[in-house]
Chains A and B, each alone.
Chain A
Amino acid sequence: MTADEYLSEVLASQALGDDSEELKALQTHRSDVEKLIRDNFKNTALTIRYAGSKAKGTMNKESYDLDIVSYVASGDNTAGETLENIYENHKKALGKKYIVEPKGSALRIKGCDPVNLGVDFHIDVVPGRFTDDTKTDAYLYQSGGDKTRLKTNLDVHLDHVRNSGVIDAIRIAKLWRVRNGLPVRTFVLELAVIKLLKDQKTKCLSAQMEHFWTELRDNPANLCIEDPANPNGNDLSKCLDDNLKSQLASAAKRTLEQIKSSDWEVVFGNVQKQEKAARIEILRSAAAVATPSRPWLPKA
């Protein structure tokens, strides 16, 4: 198998089809979340839409999120006067049914019923308010940043990624981030891939990835990204600081070495599909040679 055939298999193994259990579960949660928000803001004209990797076509099975934006119309104060109020009121509304974890401008929801306690539903709700009646630009509340307000534009973000011509490279880079435990935000990674591959679009995927990692390894300091929806207003430099650049550079160096000394399979593993019975057999074999330690729980 060539490197590109292998990467194609990797992408196929990470695809989340419309009929996949994961996506069905996400869509059910999405409906519940939307109903919960609308029930709580009955007098508010809300725009609730998909954003994130679902809308961009960059979802991977191994790590996926469903971003849902919930934007209030400009001048509408029924969901809260300030952006912070809107954010907090959404948090309160979602908290009726979920554990809510604030995450920058988003609210991450997790299960709070006994069966799903703490289970991450991979859903981020991003509350905000449109800047005007054109319903294009929006302001988001930003917790924990220098500025508490962030101007953004969902469609510009989606188009920037969807029309980048490097969707497959973005998906591979996202999987690489997960496999290497790199603490880089998805949007930042997407922007980095798009920027570093802007002149590489005609190349094959394996060449694109090698170029991406080589740039990360050799020129991390030169890597600067900007928010396409607000290039001068949103400073993304803190999302890609020297420490993170250094981590990306080390991981890129390691990956390139692995490809050179072994092959691509060392980077992303075997992607051959396994039947359930075969997988269980392998797991049992792994257990047979593993340390036989037993789990406990301090509280009965």
Chain B
Amino acid sequence: MTWQRDDPAFYEKEKAEIGAHFSSLHFVVESDLVYVRGSFPVVFEGQALDHYTIELGLAQNHPAVLPIVRETGGRIPHHEDRHINAADGVACVLIPDERWRFWPSGAPLLKFLIGPLHSFFLAQTMVEEGEPWPFGQWAHGPKGIFQFYRELLQTSNLRVISTYLDYLSAKRVKGHWPCPCKSGRRLRDCHFKQVQNLRDKIARKDAENSLAILKTAGTSAIELTEARPRTPTLPA
């Protein structure tokens, strides 16, 4: 399955939108994969403050998953402190589970570029100038996943978070299941709407991956730096 061949009109639309907004970025198809390459400007009030040479690798099932982002000019060190994976040079622009906030399913690729991608490179420029990360940063690996769900669900209880992720990964959820908040009530009588709402936002695959990352890391690795799990106070 290749999205550009399956839906040529969509491919042309994505290409035209990016081309109209970023004349310095070009679509290239290589071995049936689509790449967007070129010079990416960091812009404020119409003025380019900086430029980065980048490559976005669009997955065969684009836009179902986040593009693979690389800074190909060799300017940013491949270091975790700069959110670039040392092994493969891939930049981690955001946690996939969070994409609904910035690049929701169905939104054009352009939204990803002018949103989180632009913020990522703006932040890189600021860090280069000795400034802190302007929007903060998630901790690396499982701790970042935990941090994200802790903020989202307003709980530090890893068991609660894991159960939520379990429900978000499931093909479907049933009302008679116990609520993930551990209140002892049935899901339909407790946080059913919230779970459904999150299932609409967070892709099953992303939740599944996050759950696997948390499980692999184990409780101790995540909770070492955390305070004792608090009793969850979940918004209904």
Contact = CB atoms under 8 A, between A and B. Distances in A.
Interface string B118-142: 1110110110010101111111111
Contact of B39 (A110, A118, A180): A180
Contacts of A291: 102, 114-116, 118-119
Interface string B44-56: 1001110101000
B59 interface: no
Contacts of B129: 276, 279-280, 283
Contacts, number: 161
A182 B129 CA distance: 28
B142 to A, nearest CB: 6
A187 B151 CA distance: 53
A115 B79 contact: yes
B47 A287 contact: no
B93 interface: yes
Interface string A15-58: 00000000000000000000000000000000000000000000
B137 A296 contact: yes
The contact size tier of chain A is: 35 or more
A287 B51 contact: no
A1 interface: no
Contacts of B138: 294-296
B80 interface: yes
Contacts of A182: 38
A295 B133 contact: yes
A254 B123 CA distance: 29
Interface stretch (B69-77, B161-169, B187-195): B69-77
A296 B51 contact: no
A296 B95 contact: yes
Interface string A274-296: 00100110111111011111111
B111 to A, nearest CB: 9
Contacts of B80: 297, 299
A118 B221 CA distance: 29
A297 B140 contact: yes
B17 to A, nearest CB: 16
A300 B142 contact: yes
Contacts of A295: 83, 91-94, 120, 123, 133, 137-138
Nearest to A243: B28
Nearest to B209: A298
Contacts of A282: 44, 49
B152 interface: no
B74 A290 contact: no
Contacts of A299: 80, 85, 87, 140-141
Interface in A217-267: 247, 251, 254
Nearest to B125: A283
B225 to A, nearest CB: 11
B83 A293 contact: no
Nearest to B43: A286
Nearest to A286: B44
B217 interface: yes
Contacts of A12: none
B29 to A, nearest CB: 11
B149 to A, nearest CB: 13
B86 interface: yes
A181 interface: yes
A37 to B, nearest CB: 21
A297 B92 contact: yes
A204 interface: no
Contact of A293 (B53, B120, B141): B120
Given A119-B78, A280-B129, 15 more contacts: A63-B53, A118-B78, A118-B84, A269-B48, A283-B44, A284-B134, A287-B135, A289-B44, A291-B115, A292-B119, A293-B94, A296-B140, A298-B141, A299-B85, A300-B139
19 contacts: A118-B74, A183-B26, A270-B47, A279-B49, A280-B126, A284-B126, A286-B42, A287-B126, A287-B135, A289-B44, A290-B134, A291-B116, A292-B135, A293-B102, A293-B115, A293-B119, A295-B94, A296-B83, A299-B140
Instruction: Give me the 10 closest cross-chain CB pairs, A-B, nearest first.
Output: A120-B74, A181-B38, A300-B141, A118-B78, A286-B44, A287-B134, A295-B83, A293-B116, A296-B138, A291-B115
